[in-house]
Structure formats: C-alpha cells, structure tokens
Amino acid sequence: MAPSTARQIMDVHPTGFGLIDRKKLDAAISAMQVASQAASVCADACLNEGQIKDMRECVRTCLDCADVVDAAVRTLSRHAGWEQSAAPTILRAAVAVLDAAGHESARHASMHMHSRLASEACRKAQTACEELLDSLAARS
C-alpha cells in the first residue's frame, strides 16, 4: 500500500518531525480523521431517528468528538522537531471525547448501523491516540 499523504509530507518536513514516532502519529491522525467525520454523520443521523430523547446524548458526544478531534489533528500536524508541550494534554482530551462518543454510540449499535460504525471508528482512533500517548511518554 502506498504511504499516506500525511506520512509522506511528515517524512519530508525540514526537521523530520524530530524524535516522535511518525508511524504512530500518522496512524493516530488518519484514525482521528475517519472518526471525526463518522461522528459528524452519526450526530446528523441520530436527529432523524424516532426516539430522539434516547439519542440526545449521542448527538452531543458525537459533536464534541468532531470538535476536539479536529483540533487535535491540527495541533499534532504542527511543531517542527516536535517539541510541543501541550501535545499530551490535547491527546488526553481527544481520548476523552472519543471514549465518550464511542461509548454512547455503542449503546445504540444494535439498533442503528450508523451508531455501530461511528462507535467502531471512535474506538480505533482512541486506541491509536493511546498508543501515541504511550510513545510520547516513553520518549520523555
């Protein structure tokens, strides 16, 4: 499989993205982009389901997820040489919203396929973020 554009462009960054594990960073960024978009569609789909009272919390956690995860993708794509002091805290916030959206969506997964797909996307992104967090901790 051809390397992602995200990976290619990190590899040619003038500083080489420093000591960070680029494979894990690329995996986290890709998984977060999938999860963010899935959460946006899931929130929208929930609005058309019959039992909106049951779906309200799912709408809200999915919207939070898209907002925080998009900010994480941006900030993790930045900082040549990768001395970004706020990165672990931002990743923890991403993990928190991915966990909340993954959990809420999973509650509706047997009823709604969009909830199942969003839940799976959030879980994958959460795992990728946790692995990146671990590698940042090991480095410092």
Q: Which residues contact its own copies (rule: CB under 8 A)? A: 4-6, 8-10, 12-15, 29, 33-34, 37-38, 40-45, 47-49, 52, 56, 59-61, 63-64, 66-68, 70-71, 73-75, 77-80, 84-86, 89-90, 92-93, 95-97, 99-100, 112-114, 117-118, 121
Burial class of residue 94, CB neighbours in 10 A (0-12, 13-18, 19+): buried
Nearest to 126 by CA among 61, 56, 45: 61
Q: Rounded to the nearest whole angstrom, what is the least distance from the CB of residue 23 to its own copies in the complex?
A: 15
Give the Cα separation of 113 and 109 in Å (integer). Answer: 6
User: Of 56 and 139, which CB lies nearer to its own copies in the complex structure?
Assistant: 56
Q: Rounded to the nearest whole angstrom, what is the least distance from the CB of residue 81 to its own copies in the complex?
A: 8
Cβ within 8 Å of residue 51, ≥6 positions away: none
User: Of 24 and 79, which CB lies nearer to its own copies in the complex structure?
Assistant: 79
User: Of 9 and 19, which CB lies nearer to its own copies in the complex structure?
Assistant: 9
Give the Cα separation of 7 and 125 in Å (integer). Answer: 17
DSSP string, 113-130: HHHHHHHHHHHHHHHHHH
Give the Cα separation of 71 and 67 in Å (integer). Answer: 6
Q: Rounded to the nearest whole angstrom, what is the least distance from the CB of residue 66 to its own copies in the complex?
A: 7
User: Of 3 and 139, which CB lies nearer to its own copies in the complex structure?
Assistant: 3
Q: Rounded to the nearest whole angstrom, what is the least distance from the CB of residue 128 to its own copies in the complex?
A: 14
User: Of 60 and 135, which CB lies nearer to its own copies in the complex structure?
Assistant: 60
